[in-house]
Amino acid sequence: MTQKQFTAMLVEKTGEKQYARSIVTRSVDDLPAGDLLVRVRYSSLNYKDALSATGRPGVTKNYPHTPGIDAAGEVVECGSGTFAPGEPVIVTGFDLGMNTAGGYGQYIRVPSAWAVGLPAGLSLRESMIVGTAGFTAALSVWKLATTGVKPGAGDILVTGATGGVGSIAVAILAKAGYRVVAATGKAAEKDYLLSLGATEIISRDEVLAGSDRPMMKERWAGVVDVAGGETLVAAIKSTRYGGVVTCCGLVASPDLTMNVFPFILRGVSLLGIDSVQCPMETRRQVWTRLAGEWKPARLERAVTEVPLEALEEKIHGILKGEVRGRVLVRL
């Protein structure tokens, strides 16, 4: 029997560029239209969630709103018949947590086409340690692998390596047999990154050294970049002939100011990573990999678990770059 009342975070606009967050009781009847009702057990905190929760432009248009672009739980009702009641599912991407009430509530109602059945080998909890950040990292590895960058090809650079995407990218790449060079501005996190499987740790300054030149010394067979801006420029300029650079973030800058020499003289490829509108067939394949051969060996080292009521501090922390790894939200 469906519980009519449930707990959720609600973000309300209280003034010009002012937003307040509170934990409230909501009704299932207040949820948006959709043929799939899910009892959420876990969500996670992503950078986009913090933007939505603080009213930053470009994510959520209408308030009051419940953020949470990730959700994992059991099906309560499925009008399409795609899933059976009680079946565990993962919902990430599409409009969840953006303008559709998201995973920071104990229930969500969405189109069943947004959900993926939980693959064997992953628990609901583990799926949200991975979450959108980890799924994005896995999509980046998928792009590298399917474009010919195989284990043994050379060093793979991961920028922003202590963040959510970066941490899981390091762990997946290491599990898949790649030699991982993790770049971070946090020297104190060396042991953490080594524990995830990184072979070498370098500073952000080392990545950027010489980036003012038209081309840099060839070093990387592949790159997983979460930063954008000058970090991405430096990564591209120092990628080896025929190498592949994936881009999935803009925490440093959304701008890319550089020449075309790496592309036309070294045949470097720059590939964009989008986890929001990713086709369902690719989603299923990547989640299956994450439950199997790509499942990070040390997931628990990358996670901090909090109840919904303790999320406020983490929201501010992730915006300041102070969160290490993944934040799991227990509902």
* Domains of the chain: residue spans and CATH: 5-118+298-330 (3.90.180.10), 132-272 (3.40.50.720)
Q: What is the pLDDT of residues 33-90, one digit of tens each?
A: 999 999 999 999 999 999 999 998 889 999 999 999 999 999 999 999 999 999 999 9
pLDDT of residue 91: 98
pLDDT of residue 1: 45
The Cα–Cα gap between 183 and 254 comes to 19
Pick the closest to residue 270 from 178, 125, 147, 118 (CA basis).
147
pLDDT of residue 58: 85
Q: Is the pTM of this model over 0.85?
A: yes
Q: How far apart are the first and last CA of the chain?
A: 18
List, for the chain, all residue ranges whose pLDDT scores fall below the cut of 50.
1
Spatial CB neighbours of 320, under 8 Å, sequence gap ≥ 6: none
